[in-house]
Amino acid sequence: MKIARFSTGGDPRFGIVDDDALVVLKGDPMFAGYEPTGERVPLSDATLLAPVIPRSKVVAVGKNYAEHAAEMGGTAPTTPLIFLKPNTSVIGPGDTIMLPPESNQVEFEGELAIVIGAVARRVRPEDFAQVVFGYTIANDVTARDIQKADGQWARAKGYDTFCPLGPVIETEFDFASAAIETRVDGVLKQSGNTSQLIHSIPDIIAFASNVWTLLPGDVILTGTPAGVGPFVDGQQVEIFIAGIGTLTNPAKNRGY
């Protein structure tokens, strides 16, 4: 089931994607369930928003594909390499990635993202499904030159607009083997598969929830395949994951 968060000019609402329409729900299905209002909204009349605004945090996993770890000049870590992005970095499909003037090398990183649906603390790997609401697509946008200069990742990955999410949450996603592709202005840049994840989704959830209590609406980015690279003002980044859809965002230089 694909869940969208959308607007038709008023407050955000939630709906189930049904062909070319949205079956409008009475509330946020993460908390209120799937009770329909009886209204249907054509997708063409709706603006899709970030499908979730993390309640407290975005957790991300670095170097979780072997070829990406190699292209970054190192080996894959033996345990998940986790870091945080602020929830203020989240934007939705079609929203603009604002390129900061401090960076000359902003790069895309297409990723599968987990949406947490229950309070999760020290979750065992075999129980991971109990705390998952669904899955979406993410772009772990990174100012690579700042990442190298700082020696840590908070600023480079934490700018406003540096975590596009969407276009929907798929609640029944099969992550065992799903293609991931990233294109810039239609040119294929990344091509990977979730079967190549070094640390599995159950293990990532267990590891992260041993460090932080995960709250409903928190998001975990699971890592990016090889092929990361720069994009610039005026270009468009498209990330496709089979079974979920395509997340598209334009880029624009940010003035002071």
Mean confidence (pLDDT) of the chain:
97
Give yes or no: residues 34 and 159 share one domain.
no
Taking residue 47's Cβ as centre, other Cβ atoms within 10 Å add up to 12
Strand partners, 221: 60, 113
Q: 49 with 7: CB under 8 angstroms?
A: yes
Give yes or no: residues 177 and 226 share one domain.
yes
Give the up-direction half-sphere exposure of residue 185: CA atoms within 13 A in the CB hemisphere: 8
Task: Calculate ∠ Cα 183-228-188, nearest 5°.
Answer: 25
Give yes or no: residues 85 and 184 share one domain.
yes
Q: What average pLDDT does the segment 59-87 reach?
A: 91
Instruction: Output the domain CATH number for residue 63.
Output: 3.90.850.10
In this predicted model, what pLDDT tens digit does every residue of 6-40 receive, in sequence order? 999 999 999 999 999 999 999 999 999 999 999 99
Three-state SS string across 73-136, please?
A: CCCCCCCCEEEEECHHHEECCCCCEEECCCCCCEEECEEEEEEECCCECCCCHHHHHHHEEEEE
Say if 12 falls within a structural domain: yes
Give yes or no: residues 40 and 62 share one domain.
no
Say if 24 falls within a structural domain: yes
**Residue % of the chain over a pLDDT of 90:** 94
Give yes or no: residues 84 and 131 share one domain.
yes
Give yes or no: residues 28 and 117 share one domain.
no
Cis, peptide link before residue 167, omega less than 30° from 0: yes
Say if 53 falls within a structural domain: no
CA-based nearest residue to 231, from 198, 175, 186, 196: 186
Residue 44, helix vs strand vs coil: helix
Residue 202, helix vs strand vs coil: helix
Give yes or no: residues 28 and 86 share one domain.
no
Give yes or no: residues 173 and 243 share one domain.
yes
Query: What's the domain range around 212?
Result: 58-253
Give yes or no: residues 33 and 82 share one domain.
no
163-170/90-91 β-pairing: parallel
Count of domains for the chain = 2
Strand partners, 240: 181, 246
Amino acid at site 166: G
Cα distance between residue 18 and residue 3, in whole Å: 10
State if pTM tops 0.85. yes
Q: 14 with 23: CB under 8 angstroms?
A: no
Give yes or no: residues 27 and 135 share one domain.
no
Residue 148, helix vs strand vs coil: helix
Give yes or no: residues 16 and 70 share one domain.
no
In this predicted model, what pLDDT tens digit does every residue of 201-254 receive, in sequence order? 999 999 999 999 999 999 999 999 999 999 999 999 999 999 999 999 999 999
Give yes or no: residues 82 and 193 share one domain.
yes
